[in-house]
Amino acid sequence: MKIYDFTVRKKVYERVVFTLTLDKKRLTERIVIGETGQVRRSLEHGDGGVYYDATRPLGALLFNFEGDTTGEWNKHSQILRDSYAKFLPFTSSRWNETAPAVEFLTAKYKSGEPFSVFAAVRTWEDYLSCFNMPLATDTLSKRLHTLYKPFTVYEKYRPWDKEAAYALANYMTDGDLQIELWYPAAKRPLETIAAVSSFMSVISYYTHKIVEWGYFYHVCKVCGKDYLAKNRHYEICSDECRKMQTITAKQEFNERAKDKNYEQYDKDTYQFWYNRWRKLKSGKSANPDAATAFKAELDIFRDEAVKRKEALKEASTADRVKLSADFISWLLQQRDKADDLVDTLMDT
């Protein structure tokens, strides 16, 4: 990975772009930041010298979007604008004056968050390129205002909230709508968008794709993180959280059932299955095909439970204690099976 040098005094030869590739099938986002030619090489051949290249879960860019609640980006961009008053372009006083901004941009670049990485590089590139332009300070101010605009919008809103969409629409100008679409190539099967001066179009594209593909925004009920899922039924963001939920549910179930015998365990577990079947049949996320398939498994569970209870009742007193413990253990496992079955049926 190439490292950007914030002490350079000439802008890079090629323009620096922020590219985004969304993979609907794998639920991933890939972000590559660098000079245009190197980014294309990285996307198509995997060997470009870029400043950032990462593939993350779909939605990560939106969920980790940076807000500038303290105005740090604008504060340090003002330092850069003020340095233009040093009319001799290569005097040490000019570069000394930019030192706090350079330190800030370097820290943001090292944060590893793609919006921060790109904003830091673009800030310094624009600072270098505007110096010799007419009305340099005004030109730089306009460019950085466009670049930092989302940091202000999303101090109050999350990018996928309805309020954010309204704020975004009211806040965008023609310059914010400019974006490039790189069509799939031989070794790059997915379309890629490339932005140069504004994140607003990236956010608009991203949120539009999420709606187009029919994914849903959720908050994991175990860890509290935001995540995207294929349907409204999902409540857990990962296998790790699912395992944690299972452990917690078992502990809670065992606590409630300390003084219950196997008959009560059997009734509770059947009710557990029944409630999930009822939701599939007529709940908010009703799915007739899934409900039919789940009912077939519910009947199998019920038949097996009846057989086990009958065998337990017919067992000798000496064997009954062990059989009762085995039966309760089996019933607890069936609760996990019911949850896994719901997830599997809703995915198909």
Render pLDDT for 112-121 as a digit per residue (tens, 0 to 9).
Answer: 999 999 999 9
**pLDDT value for 283:** 74
Q: Of 73, 164, 85, 176, nearest to 115 (Cα)?
A: 73
Q: Of 178, 153, 147, 177, nearest to 165 (Cα)?
A: 153
**Burial of 137 (C-beta count, 10 Å sphere; 0-12/13-18/19+):** middle
User: What gap in Å lies between CA 344 and CA 331, rounded to an integer?
Assistant: 20
User: What gap in Å lies between CA 174 and CA 152, rounded to an integer?
Assistant: 18
User: What gap in Å lies between CA 150 and CA 168, rounded to an integer?
Assistant: 8
Q: Which residues pair with 229 in a beta bridge?
A: 216
C-beta atoms surrounding 262 within 10 Å: 19
pLDDT above 70 covers a percentage of the chain that reads 88
Q: Do 194 and 251 meet the contact criterion of CB atoms below 8 Å apart?
A: no
pTM attached to this predicted model: 0.70
**CA angle centred on 332, ends 331 and 333, rounded to 5°:** 90
Is the per-residue pLDDT at 238 higher than 90? no
- Distance separating the N- and C-terminal Cα atoms of the chain: 39
Q: Where is 226: in which H helix or E strand?
A: strand 226-229
**CA angle centred on 58, ends 243 and 291, rounded to 5°:** 55
**pLDDT value for 88:** 56
6-22 pLDDT, tens digit each: 988 888 778 999 999 99
**pLDDT value for 259:** 45
Quick one: pLDDT band at residue 302, thresholds 50, 70, 90? Answer: very high
131-146 pLDDT, tens digit each: 878 788 899 999 998 8
What's the mean pLDDT when you consider all of the chain?
A: 85
**Burial of 69 (C-beta count, 10 Å sphere; 0-12/13-18/19+):** exposed
Overall average pLDDT of the 100-125 stretch: 94
- The residues, ordered by sequence, that sit 6+ positions from 311 with a Cβ below 8 Å of its Cβ are 323
C-beta atoms surrounding 128 within 10 Å: 15
**pLDDT value for 339:** 87
- The residues, ordered by sequence, that sit 6+ positions from 118 with a Cβ below 8 Å of its Cβ are 16, 18, 33, 52, 199
Q: Of 116, 142, 111, nearest to 129 (Cα)?
A: 142
**Burial of 5 (C-beta count, 10 Å sphere; 0-12/13-18/19+):** exposed
User: What gap in Å lies between CA 272 and CA 155, rounded to an integer?
Assistant: 43
User: What gap in Å lies between CA 78 and CA 266, rounded to an integer?
Assistant: 70
